[in-house]
Structures are given as structure tokens and as C-alpha cells.
Chains A and B, each alone.
Chain A
């Protein structure tokens, strides 16, 4: 296990390094010179050259990359071309908000999908089981932002029990913080929960046909006891894979939901950066998102190994 962990960790570091090169190269290839953008169309060539020198964009790309990636290691993402403020602290603050949003949505999705999916599998012949399966299909067809808009319409516009958007830091008012996050969590959680319900259902259905479940019953367990003790952990192996993929999609998809609910997360920061052509900020946010996806995959692989002794 330890050797596996070290190996997998090495892979994580290597792939993050490759990702850094890719992100940097991609941004460098984009047309547009930060100095020209900052000074506008009427700037003199001398002023542009001077600003380039200040930004450091007059140096060869390799030197720029080494400078940037060296900073990343210590959490220094450089200084914004537009505002002149350091980028690292901004990303850290926004990342916290996004992580809370995404994890909350995921927990809700799991809380819905595990019991519903299991129930739908056990009762796959009953009308109720079929109904859950069909309802989850509908849930999959609805994108998260649309679910968000519908939820806002029902709870904020009609019933007026929850705010339609906005974000209050937990340090200011925990109650308002929670109220502000409920609808975003719901819109992410319902949609992801619907997708996950289908995966849980099919995983449990597969497990129910396994011989070891019959063995468990031959030992004297009831059908429910056998499924609980022997089935669910086995069913969780494929579900964990999907969970990892979903978490990654959710992180990227949060960009849209943050827009709908006016939440100052990483997605919001990214869109602002794009709008203001703050290239270094965009580069930093993209790098963080890519690294987060790589980290999720790492966690999924390790979870796999903990769950399934055949992989050890």
C-alpha cells in the first residue's frame, strides 16, 4: 500500500507539472499582449516596451515559465496585469467558496442517490422502483443551471423564503451563509444526485445477482441483511469511479451555477478575468482547476485500493 501510494503520488506530481506546461503554453499561444491591452490603442511603442519590461513579458517564454511555475510551488501566482494585486490570495479565497459549494452539492447528491438507487434496485419490479428510475432519467436531462433558475423561481420569486442569489461569508452571519447556499447546493445536488442514482441502481442490481449474496443467505442472512453486509461495499466500487468523474465535472460546472446565484467563487473569478483580459489571473485559475481534477483522480485511485483488496 505504501509503495503504491508513493508511486501514485509521483504520478500526481508529474502530471501536475505537465499540466502546468500545457496551461502556460496554451496561454502564451493566445494572441494579445498584456502590455498593449493595458495601455490601449494610443500608447507609444516606448511605453508598451517599458510596461512589457515591468510585467516581464519581454523575456523568453522559458524564463517566464520557470518564474511562474517556481512561484506556484510557494503559492505565488504572480501579480495581476490589470489591478496590480497579487493573484494567489484571491484564488485562495474564491477556491474556498467553490469547494464548499461543490462538496455540499456532492454530499447532497450522495445522500439522495445511495438510498434512492438502492431502493430502486431492490424494488426494480415494483412501480415505485420503476418510478424512481424514471424520475432520475428526467433529472439527468436537466442541466444544473436550469435547475438553479427553476429553484430560484419557486423558492425566491414565488415563495420568497430564500434569497435568489448573493453570498454572505460564514464569518459574518452563519445563518445567512447557509440560506444563501441552500439553493445552489440543491441545484447541483439534485442533478448530480439523479445521475448518481442511476449508477447506484445498476451497481446494486449487478451485485444482487452475485453468487456471494446467495452464499450470505445460505449462511442465514435475510435478503436485506445480505445486501447490507456484502452487497453495498461491492457496489460502491463502480460508484466511486463515477463519483470522481462527477466531482471533476461539478467543479468545472460550478462556473455556471456561480453565475446564476451570484456567488463569488472560482468560476466567477475566472469569468471576470476573461472579461478584463487579465491573462495571468486566468492562467492561475485554470491551473488550480486542472490541479484539482488531478487531485480528485488521485483520491479516487487511492480509495479504489482501500476498497478492493484484489488491487493491492
Chain B
């Protein structure tokens, strides 16, 4: 379905995402986890062709038969909202405040060739599909009359409108209340054709995804089936990340990863994690390749 090979994102001379490769099979739900600044969102935006001004992507990414990187905007435009769609992090600002919900859903349909009248009827059906109560009234409402969770459902309805092959979600539940989060995740799991789910919340990934990619410093440092990566992490960063999110007995210190994520362009050469890694040796000055079938890791001194 989706095949990414050697995806690299640059702002001028600074490499923000380096040589990222992964695949997503039809119907598969893949989690992309990492801290802020690890390059998760840029990876997603480069697949959508929506990188900010001055940021460019190179490498290869194919969705079915279609290239996604290095393709002219006129071609990407037809894919976005059609074959490929995305739900963003902040539902409160993602909708146009001056436009009725129904019109905003119908827009994505008319943009991809549906007649106006049909699009209007279909948009109500879509609002119903994302389980919004009273879809006809919601269609007539303005965004400010809806809650955050409802708005995110609207965004999901927009993303699903043209039956995409792949849905990308960038922290879609981070801004929502915990109770609403659960419902939203259930809904995404139910409707997503194939899913790339970006988050820094390991629990969310655990409840939703079958496979997981761990990013740090613009690189994929570990990837594999969720159960394996979470129970038997190989990369020292993944190990630290899991330790930090585990509940600890009362009275003990919270385990943390020492140091802080460097600013973009200030990661060390070789293994990007070596300046924070307790197991680092001179060997780590050489970049480790992502190796291993199924469960892969990029580390010279993996845990076992």
C-alpha cells in the first residue's frame, strides 16, 4: 500500500528527517512514536506534500502506484483528500470559523468531482458515520458551536469522505479529554482503511496499532510488531522511553532519559542517541543501520 524508502527532509542544509524507510500494508495500523522534535510530523507532512515553506523532502514514497515525493503540486492536490488524507492535532483551529460544518465537509467532495447537491447529502451521511448526534443539525452549525471532540469527528468525516487508501493521524487525540479520547480512538480503529498514527503517547499506540516505528532525531531507531517492541525493546532509546512511561512503585525515583532532545541540526553524528545513551561507546560514532527482519533496530549495543 504505502512504501517509503530513504525519505529525507531538509530545511536548507539542516537535515530534519534522515533516510526513513517503512511500509504500511492495506488495513494495517502503524504507530509512529517519538518525542517532540523527533521528525514524526514532518514525515507525515512530507507524505501529504504539505511541508512548510523552505522545507523540502527527497527520497521515495509510493502510495499504491503513485509517487508522493518530488511530485508537482498539481498532482499532489488530486491525491490529498482523495487517496490520502490526514487528521491534525488541534481540532479547535482546524476548521474555518466562518463556514458551516456541512459546507466544509461537502467541500472535500466537490473538490474531488462530486456534484454539489450529492455532496451536500453525502456530507450528512459522513457526519453520521463518525457518530455525531443529529448530523443534520451539526451540518448547519458553525465550528464554535461544537466541542473539541465533535470538531475532531468532523475532521475525521472530512478525511474519510472520498474513501482514502491511507489515513494519517497526527496526534488527533492529544488535545481531547481522556474520555473523549477513548471513543475517538475506537472510531479511528473502526473506520481507518490503513493507518499511520503519530503520537508520543505509548498507551494510545498500544491500544490501537499492530506495528510501531520509533523515531528519534529524525531517524527511525526501532520498528517492529507492537507486542515485541513494547515487551522486548532493543534500541536503548526505546528502552528508556518505555521505562519512563511505566508506572513505578511508590517512593522510587521516576526513571528518566538523561539530557534533553537537542534542537534540530544539533544531533550528534553517528548514532543520534549516543550523547544521552548510558551504553554509548566510541563505536557509536558510526551511524548504525536499521537491521533485522520484522523487529528491526539501529543500535550497536542493543538490549536483548
Contacts and interface: CB of A to CB of B under 8 A. Distances in A.
Interface of A: 125, 210-212, 214-223, 229-230, 233-234, 307-310
Contact of B98 (A220, A223, A307): A307
A77 B77 CA distance: 63
Contacts of B159: 218
B176 to A, nearest CB: 16
B108 interface: yes
Interface in B53-98: 53, 73-74, 77-82, 85-86, 88, 90, 93-98
Given A211-B93, A214-B50, A230-B96, A219 B88 contact: no
Indicate the size class of the contact surface on chain B.
Answer: 20 to 34
Contacts of A217: 50, 80
A212 B95 contact: yes
Contacts of A222: 73-74, 77
B99 interface: yes
Nearest to A222: B77
Contacts of B90: 211
B198 to A, nearest CB: 14
A230 B99 CA distance: 8
Contact of B111 (A210, A220, A234, A310): A220
A220 B86 contact: no
Contacts of A234: 96-98
Contacts of A220: 77-82, 108, 111-112
A221 B50 CA distance: 11
B130 to A, nearest CB: 16
10 contacts: A214-B94, A217-B80, A218-B48, A218-B85, A219-B111, A220-B78, A222-B77, A229-B107, A234-B96, A234-B97
B97 A212 contact: yes
A310 B88 contact: no
A229 B111 CA distance: 12
B300 interface: no
A307 B96 CA distance: 13
**Residue picked from B73, B96, B144, most chain A C-beta under 10 Å:** B96
